[in-house]
Amino acid sequence: MLDQYGRPIRDLRISLTDRCNLRCVYCMPADGISFRPPAELLQDHEILLLTRIAAELGVSKVRLTGGEPTVRPGLVDLVRGIASIPGIRDVALTTNGVRLRDLAAPLAEAGLRRVNVSLDTLDPEQFRRITRGGRLEDVLDGIRAAEEAGLRPVKLNTVVVRGFNEEAVVPLAALTLDRPWEVRFIEVMPFGAVADFAEGSVVRTEETVRRIEEAFGPLEPLDLSGDEPARTYRIPGAAGALGFISPISEPFCAKCGRLRLTADGKLRLCLLRDDEEDLLTPLRRGASYEELREIFRAAAFRRPFGHALAERLYPRQRVMIQIGG
């Protein structure tokens, strides 16, 4: 499956819910959002059908996101179903880690391969401030459980937000000194009702790198190819790696091979544009498998080349929690 620019599409990110058990400042407006009724969201059998179509078209990697995917009932069985679809070779999960302590082992048994855990600071009070009430220890317990369950390599996602955690990058980077983890630092992205907040909160990757190198010395490059969103480095002698995802300062659109399926059944063609294709409506109106397959394929083909953040054209229809990252 290729888009109009000849880029192969092998990665599908599926949002399982628009709900979350945290309320992070860069993801959800302070006054919250209106959650959709469960009946308006994709059901398990619908997710499996659309994933099967995606696999037939060439998708081999599925990442489950949210909201927070671990709050969706029946997650373990859904993972087992996705992992059993012919052509799907890798099933991963992006999570805030709060429920991983109990779910890591059964998810691994069901076929989950890897996890990315959001962790924006190692300071408990700062964590409460960023997440509006979360407990850091819950996340740390979840990370340990994921590692024990064999969900490796563990990747930690840190969204760097000015005025909240820009100085936390050094202790987070230090986690890789004696652990085989990848800590990834992500530039905050402007979305919907939090776009204006995010625009003024961007910490560019070069500033983050400078802070880390002041503490640990020059970083050693590992993978700068751009084939993955993160450009990876290592602190000399460290067991783990550091990744930098820079959608603002160094976009990676030219090699992007991802589509996103939102919890309400829209195929989102670019994370940072509002262009979407409705799959849920034709599915529930009785469209045939072949018709759905063609809608999916045609939508994927017309993917835009990339975002337009440099022109301050921000996605406005949804906030991050409604897309899945």
> What per-residue confidence (pLDDT) applies to 323?
66
148 in a structural domain: yes
Q: List all residues 6 or more positions away from 312 whose beta carbon is below 8 Å from its beta carbon.
A: 199
Neighbours of 141 (CB within 10 A): 17
Question: Is 5 within a domain?
Answer: no
Residue 172: both structure tokens together? 């987070």
* Cα gap 295→285, rounded to integer Å: 14
Angle between helical axes of 44-56 and 289-301 (0-180°, round to 10): 60
- Which CATH number does the domain housing residue 73 bear? 3.20.20.70
Per-residue pLDDT band at 225 (split at 50, 70, 90): confident
pLDDT at site 325: 57
Which pLDDT does position 316 carry in this prediction?
54
pLDDT tens readout for residues 51-70: 999 999 999 999 999 889 99
DSSP symbol at 163: T
Query: Is residue 144 one of the residues assigned to a domain?
Result: yes
Question: Among 86-100, 131-145, 167-181, 194-208, whose mean pLDDT is lowest?
Answer: 194-208
Query: How confident is the model at residue 237, as a pLDDT?
Result: 97
Average pLDDT over residues 38-42: 94
φ, ψ of residue 97 to 5 degrees: the values are 85, -5
Which residue is it, tokens 């398990």? 44
What's the token pair of residue 119? Answer: 């962790």
Residue 202 placed within a domain: yes
Residue 10 — pLDDT band, cuts 50, 70, 90?
Answer: very high
What are the pLDDT digits (tens) for 273-293? 878 999 999 999 999 999 999
Residue 212 resides in a domain = yes
Number of domains in the chain: 1
Best CA proximity match to 230, nearest among 196, 256, 261, 265: 256
CA distance linking residue 46 with residue 38, whole number of Å = 13
What pTM did the predictor assign?
0.91
Q: How far apart are the first and last CA of the chain?
A: 22
Token pair 């906030």 in the structure block, residue? 319
For residue range 63-106, what is the model confidence (pLDDT) as tens digits?
999 889 999 999 999 999 999 999 999 999 999 999 999 999 99
More confident site: 188 or 140: 140
Query: Is 282 contained in some domain?
Result: yes
Full residue range of the structural domain in which residue 260 is found: 11-322
75 vs 73: CA distance, rounded Å: 6
Within a domain: 1: no
Q: What is the pLDDT of residue 227?
A: 74
For tokens 């996340």, the residue is: 139
Longest alpha-carbon distance in the chain: 60
What pLDDT sits at residue 195? 47
Question: How are beta strands 182-187 and 241-245 bridged, if at all?
Answer: parallel
Q: How many CA atoms lie within 13 A of 83 on its CB side?
A: 18
Q: Is residue 218 part of a domain?
A: yes
Label the pairing between strands 266-268 and 276-278: antiparallel
Gap between the Cα atoms of 211 and 165, Å rounded: 12
Task: Write the DSSP symbol of residue 202.
Answer: B
Per-residue pLDDT for 115 more than 50?
yes
Query: What's residue 306's pLDDT?
Result: 79
Q: Find residue 266's DSSP bridge partners.
A: 278
Closest CA to 18 of 258, 261, 229, 199: 261
Q: Give the Cβ contact number of residue 117 at 10 Å.
A: 22
CA gap 320, 317 in Å, rounded: 10
Interval 248-261: pLDDT, tens:
888 888 889 999 99
